[in-house]
Every structure is written in structure tokens, then in C-alpha cells.
Amino acid sequence: MPTYAEMGPGELAALKKELERAYEEIKARGLALNMARGKPAQAQLDLSMPLLKAVTSAEDCTSADGTDCRNYGVGFGLPEAKKLMAAMLDDEPDNVIVMGNSSLNAMHDALMRCWTFGTLGSMPWGKLDAVKWICPSPGYDRHFAMTEELGIEMIPVPMTDEGPDMDEVERIAASDASVKGIWCVPKYSNPDGVTYSDEVVRRLAAMECAAEDFRIFWDNAYCAHHLFDDEAEQDRLLDIASACREAGTEDRPFKFASTSKVTFPGAGISALAASPANVAEAKRRMAVQTVGHDKLNQLRHVRFLRDAEGLAAHMRKHAAILRPKFDLVSRKLEEGLSDVGGCLWSKPRGGYFVSFFAPQGCARRIVELAKEAGVEMTGAGATYPYGKDPRDANIRIAPTLPPLEELDEALDVFVTCVKLAYAEKLLG
């Protein structure tokens, strides 16, 4: 079979007619399917129901050190919660602050502290004429929204299959003191599913930065989110804090994680890990902001997940639900699109997304066609700063939420939309 690009105009026009017919048929079904956001499926949420029964009596509310968690106190996390989150963040409990239900919130707070007060004695970023940020792209739209809202100039840097293009990152960080930070989703990245290589982590730690207060926002949202049980099939990430300590840049990283996609999104616990100086500064500021976060929820999480092993066992249950969905995406895209040509997609070993690269100039049209046919996708462009994908090619597929049968149907629709948009494009 020739690829679409190899077909003559007559052949392609006939094919387009066929695709239009197929598309109209799909539209007539009145579907309402969703592959837009990385939400766990109901079956995954059900896995964590015992958590809600972990703290029910007055006795249950006492932490290991005797704190009555129904009351005020312990502003920065119960010792046992720090231990649990230290396991997720690959750090020491002393370097961890346990926070509320959202790591995104924790990142926003960390950014706002730098913005308002500076960090470790530096000039508040909000007082500077210009602040710039390195944005590995495709990336996470909510990160980009945060820096955009503050008027921070976002500089996209291409992702490779080992992490961000480090030649570019190093060049930008070294050349301009207004470049204050970088967004990183270092493991099973959103959306590409890439885990940064050891070399990338070491280069991030060691690179020369024109700004002394350059910060790596290390959003390890998918740190425990493997799709495979066998360790040989799991990605491993070098710890940025250790790499920075070795490179003499220990204050450079802020590490974040949460249990959003471990237990309940929106009702989990989050944490920050950072150097002793950064943690001391954050605590000082946070003590003004809050008396403390929800300790009863910390207790529930510790009793339910216990430790690194308990967490890993729980994540294997998630993986058992998710694996067939990712397999289905792979199979459907392979069957539907390998002969078409011009398309690429990721085959991640963890995380929540498949990153799809359509032929250049087709992504917006594909998402539009899918929407009209009743399949909601993440907006084209959303994975790039300012919503602008320079090649109009990347689409984030989020296969976790729909049940398998619905996902199957949604992928059929998606494949038809890709083919139709590509045929339209080639015919001009």
C-alpha cells in the first residue's frame, strides 16, 4: 500500500470521499466520548476506597508521635507522612514538606514565593523587568498557564527521547540572567512518556546558569506510575537533588509529587522536597500562610499506602487496569495508521498519556473533526507554551478515563479523523 503522500491526486481524492462517508456515519451515531484529560478511571478510584476507612474513630486520629490530628499543629507534615512522601520523592524526610491536596498548588506557591520575595536573598522575580522560563515542549499545559499568567516569557525547547534538548537548555540558561527556571516532568513525562536520562539529569544539575537563583521545577507527578510490573520494563530516574549536590548546586531544584494518581485526584496529599536552605525558607513563608494542611488525610494515606513497598503494590493494581488501555491505543494506531504514513506516536512504559504527532499542519483539524464527531481530545496546541504548536502536529491522547469499549470506539473515530485531515491537507 502506498502511503498517502505517495498516492496520486485521483487515488487520494477517491479515498477522501470514502473517508468523508465513514466520518458522516460516525457523526450520525451521536457519540459522547472523552480522551481529553488524564483522569483515573472509576475502577482505579475504587482501588483506594479502603483509605476512607483508615481513620474513623478518635483513636485513629492520633499519629505515631502522639499528635491528635483533629487539632491544629504540625505545620509541615506528620513524620510518618514525610517518610512516605520522601519515598515518592527519592529524598530524606527532613527535606520534605507535606502539603495539601494538589502538587500544582504547591508549585504555584513555590513560584509565587520567588515572585514576591525572591529566593535565598535574591531580588523578587516580580520586581525584575523581564523573567524568562525554559519550557521543554511538548509539555504540561497547566505549567505553561502558570508562567503565562505571570507574564513570564516562555522559551520552548524541543523534547528528545532522553528529555529536553540539553544543548539548547544549556545555551539559554547560560546566556541570559532573566532566565530563572525550567519546567520538568522528568519521569514518564506529560505528554511524551519520556524519562530523563542520567546524562540529562546530570547536565541540568551541572549547567552554568546566568541567574544565580535559577530553579528547576521538578514535577515528578508520575514517579511511581509504571505500566509494567517487571523492573526491567520500568524506567528509572536519577535523583536531581543528589546530582545537584554532587555538582555543588544543591539549592537549584524544587521537587514535587502528589498522590493524585495514586489514590484520589483532588483529595490526595502533595509534597515538596528541596535543599535544607530552601526548605527552611519555604517553612518560614508557609508559617505565615497556613497553620498546616489536612493531617487526617496524611494519616489516611500513610495507613493505606504504608511505605515504598505498599505504594509499589498499590501502583501495580493501577497498572493492571491501565495496561490494556495503552495496549489498545498502540494496537489501534498501528492497525489504523501505519500504512497512512506521516504519523508518529509514543509507546510509554508509564504515566498517563500517549503523545501523537500528526503530519504537520493537521493537529487542529483532527481535534476539530473529532469534537464534531463526539470525541473530546486535549486541545491541539495545548502541549506548547501559549497554546502554539509551531508544527501544528502534536495531540495528547489520554486513554485512562474511558472504559475499554469506549476507548476502542473513540480510537476508531480518532483514526478516521487523522486520515481525513491528512487527505484534506495533501489535496490542499
Q: State the nearest-atom distance from the C-beta of 105 to ligand PMP, in Å.
A: 6
Return the range that interacts with ligand PMP (CB under 6 A); candidates 63-71, 99-107, 115-123, 412-420.
99-107
Q: Nearest distance from residue 319's CB to ligand PMP, in Å?
A: 17
Of the residues 115, 140, 345, 356, which one makes contact with ligand PMP according to CB under 6 A: 140
DSSP class per residue in 281-315? HHHHHHHHH-S---HHHHHHHHHHH-SHHHHHHHH
398 close to 38: Cβ distance less than 8 angstroms: yes
**Residue 272 contacts ligand PMP per CB under 6 A:** no
Q: Which of 102, 263, 297, 400 binds ligand PMP (CB under 6 A)?
A: 102
CB 180 within 8 A of CB 131: yes
Nearer to ligand PMP, 136 or 265 (CB): 265
Determine the interface stretch with ligand PMP among 52-60, 257-265, 286-294, 407-415 (rule: CB under 6 A).
257-265
Nearest CB to ligand PMP, comparing residues 146 and 241: 146
Which of positions 29-48 make contact with ligand PMP (CB under 6 A)?
Answer: 38
Give the Cα separation of 210 and 52 in Å (integer): 48
278 binds ligand PMP (CB under 6 A): no
Which residues, in sequence order, are CB contacts of 181 under 8 Å at separation 6+?
A: 133, 134, 214, 215, 216, 217
* Total number of residues that touch ligand PMP (CB under 6 A): 13
Residue 421 CB, nearest approach to ligand PMP (Å): 26
Q: To the nearest whole angstrom, how small is the minimum distance from the Cβ of residue 143 to ligand PMP?
A: 7
How many residues comprise the chain?
428
Q: Can residue 137 be called a binding residue for ligand PMP (CB under 6 A)? A: no
How far is the C-alpha of 21 from the C-alpha of 11, rounded, in Å?
A: 16
Distance in Å, CB of 371 to ligand PMP, minimum: 21
Angle between helices 240-247 and 198-206 (to 10 degrees): 50
Footprint on residues 174-203 left by ligand PMP (CB under 6 A): 185, 190
Task: List Cα–Cα distances, 347 to 1, 75, 234, 374, in angstroms.
Answer: 24, 41, 13, 25
The radius of gyration of the chain from alpha carbons, rounded to an integer in Å, stands at: 23
Candidate segments 24-32, 96-104, 130-138, 400-408, binder of ligand PMP by CB under 6 A = 96-104
Interatomic CA distance for residues 301 and 259, integer angstroms: 9
Q: Which stretch binds ligand PMP (CB under 6 A): 97-105, 152-160, 198-206, 414-422?
A: 97-105
Q: Is 275 in the site for ligand PMP (CB under 6 A)?
A: no
* Beta strands 215-219; 253-258: pairing state: parallel
Out of 63, 260, 394, 416, point to the residue binding ligand PMP (CB under 6 A). Answer: 260
CB 263 to ligand PMP: min, Å: 11
Establish if 220 lies at the interface with ligand PMP (CB under 6 A): no
Nearest to residue 264, comparing CAs of 8, 45, 94? 45
DSSP assigned state of 378: P
Question: Are 146 and 108 contacting, i.e. CB atoms less than 8 angstroms apart?
Answer: yes
Backbone phi and psi for residue 160, each to the nearest 5 degrees, phi listed first: -115, -175
Cβ-based nearer residue to ligand PMP, 234 or 263: 263
* Footprint on this chain of ligand PMP (rule: CB under 6 A): 38, 102-104, 140, 185, 190, 219, 221, 258, 260, 265, 270
